[in-house]
């Protein structure tokens, strides 16, 4: 059998295609129409319903918009915080400053990157790990524990105290320039090491480099406030005023719950992972010596049970998923039966969840917030999702996720420890197993 595609192969392929009236009809349709329009299953579409048995109280009247940036993880976490904050102060709507958290995330990621360069000085420049570190040193993405690190170290401010800038909302140019600068700094540190400079002096040089990164961030995003005033009128027109607050005091004294009380559960059925095992990802983080990223790999049912308990107790749930699969952006729908590709093409491209992860077809790509669930006999049918893409899609920015989509493409939830069984909770005391930096469970931070 020939290794290449022969002329006879092509003739055979064409004959098979031409013999199928269905294939010709599909070709004529798809060459002039969008794939999502012509493959949508009508029976599934007509059953879509944005009503839920359980919705978190004080759901915000207006969704947020991350615009042309990859800050979904931070937006979702700040959206989680603002629900309880707005409830505490009786506000119909509120936003924390997304540019403030972004500023310090970029600053800390830059330092984290340079420290990783220093820890891999013994590696060749073209080793897989060094090339991985150089690929995206200050990417917009992140993980829950990285967000907690930022809040615990720097606090947070209202959006009025540090509004969005052009480059916080459209981050590509900023990321390109700072990435180029950091790669240059990496080459300088490695070159100086090769000439005999010791680690102590390399770190002194690193501090000078970080001063330049700080300057770049201030220029792109604006200078973060050291203190600020916050005043607002609540739903009953009562005037609320706080003067000369620091960001860390705003976080510690005014946020009505503790982020450190929440933990990450993942569902990852890959053959190289065990259930009820604690994992971390090498070289994934932002704050050096901060809280380590930890995931507990659990069954899909354990993940759902914890999420349902949280929502029923009026607590939203941060989660990470592969948003682009079986998804209609305008409708704001994630549903496993939304498209019938096999019927349209006559080709079966379905894979198991484990196979998709192991062969590069799926990974965590987006973080959002569960604010509701529709239960029947205490089992979820669908989930209400608060996204951060503005209010023009879905139900004014709120999306619908079917429960079978949750099974296949949802990978992570963050819940309070009180919603976990004692047996699951004690597993967080184990030493986490290290995953490779390129593992799909680390993809959300890219």
Task: List, by residue number, the catalytic residues.
Answer: 72, 366, 387
49 Cβ partners below 8 Å, 6+ apart?
A: none
Do 388 and 63 meet the contact criterion of CB atoms below 8 Å apart? yes
Please provide residue 48's backbone torsions phi and psi, each rounded to the nearest 5 degrees. Answer: -65, 135
d(CA 251, CA 158): 10
Element (H, E) at 409: helix 403-409
Please provide residue 165's backbone torsions phi and psi, each rounded to the nearest 5 degrees. Answer: -105, 170
271 Cβ partners below 8 Å, 6+ apart?
A: 354, 358
Pairing of the two strands 333-334 and 398-402: parallel
User: Coil, strand, or helix at residue 109?
Assistant: helix
Distances (CA, A) of 401 to 307, 387, 389: 14, 12, 16
d(CA 144, CA 320): 9
Picking from 343, 306, 253, the residue whose alpha carbon sits closest to that of residue 39 is 343
Q: In angstroms, how far is CA 312 from the centroid of its own chain?
A: 24
DSSP string for residues in 194-238: HTT--HHHHHHHHHHHHHHHHHHHHHHH-PPPSSEEEEEE-TT--
d(CA 294, CA 433): 9
Residue written as token pair 């493959």:
39
Do 136 and 446 meet the contact criterion of CB atoms below 8 Å apart? yes
Do 118 and 202 meet the contact criterion of CB atoms below 8 Å apart? yes
d(CA 111, CA 288): 8
d(CA 109, CA 128): 20
């Amino acid at each position: 059998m020939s290794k290449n595609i022969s002329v006879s192969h092509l003739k055979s392929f064409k004959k098979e295609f031409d013999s199928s009236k269905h294939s010709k009809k599909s070709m004529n349709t798809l060459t002039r129409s969008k794939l999502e329009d012509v493959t949508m299953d009508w029976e599934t579409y007509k059953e879509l319903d944005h009503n839920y048995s359980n919705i978190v109280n004080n759901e915000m009247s207006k969704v947020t918009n991350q615009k042309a940036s990859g800050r979904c993880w931070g937006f979702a976490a700040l959206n989680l915080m603002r629900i309880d904050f707005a409830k505490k102060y009786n506000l119909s709507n509120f936003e924390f400053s997304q540019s403030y958290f972004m500023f310090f995330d970029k600053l800390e990621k830059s330092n984290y990157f340079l420290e990783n360069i220093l820890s891999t000085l013994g590696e060749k420049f073209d080793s897989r790990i060094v090339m991985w570190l150089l690929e995206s040193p200050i990417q917009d993405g992140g993980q829950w524990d990285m967000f907690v690190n930022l809040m615990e170290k720097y606090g947070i401010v209202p959006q009025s105290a540090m509004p969005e800038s052009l480059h916080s909302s459209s981050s590509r140019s900023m990321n390109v320039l700072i990435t180029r600068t950091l790669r240059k700094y990496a080459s300088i540190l490695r070159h100086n090491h090769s000439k005999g400079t010791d680690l102590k002096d390399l770190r002194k040089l690193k501090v000078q480099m970080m001063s330049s990164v700080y300057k770049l961030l201030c220029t792109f995003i604006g200078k973060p406030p050291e203190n600020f005033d916050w005043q607002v009128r609540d739903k009953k027109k009562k005037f609320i005023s706080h003067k000369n607050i620091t960001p860390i005091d705003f976080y510690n004294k005014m946020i009505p719950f503790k982020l450190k009380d929440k933990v990450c559960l993942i569902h990852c059925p890959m053959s190289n992972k065990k259930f009820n095992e604690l994992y971390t990802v090498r070289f994934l983080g932002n704050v050096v010596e901060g809280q380590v990223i930890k995931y507990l790999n659990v069954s899909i049912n354990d993940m759902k049970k914890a999420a349902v308990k949280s929502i029923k107790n009026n607590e939203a749930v941060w989660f990470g998923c592969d948003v682009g699969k079986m998804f209609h952006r305008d409708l704001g729908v994630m549903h496993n039966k939304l498209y019938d590709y096999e019927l349209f093409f006559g080709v079966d491209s379905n894979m198991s969840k484990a196979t998709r992860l192991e062969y590069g077809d799926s990974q965590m790509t987006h973080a959002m917030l569960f604010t509701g669930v529709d239960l029947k006999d205490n089992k979820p049918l669908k989930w209400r999702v608060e996204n951060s893409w503005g209010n023009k899609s879905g139900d004014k920015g709120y999306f619908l996720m079917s429960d079978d989509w949750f099974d296949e493409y949802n990978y992570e939830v963050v819940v309070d420890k009180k919603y976990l069984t004692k047996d699951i909770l004690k597993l967080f005391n184990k030493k986490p197993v290290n995953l490779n930096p390129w593992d799909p469970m680390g993809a959300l931070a890219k």
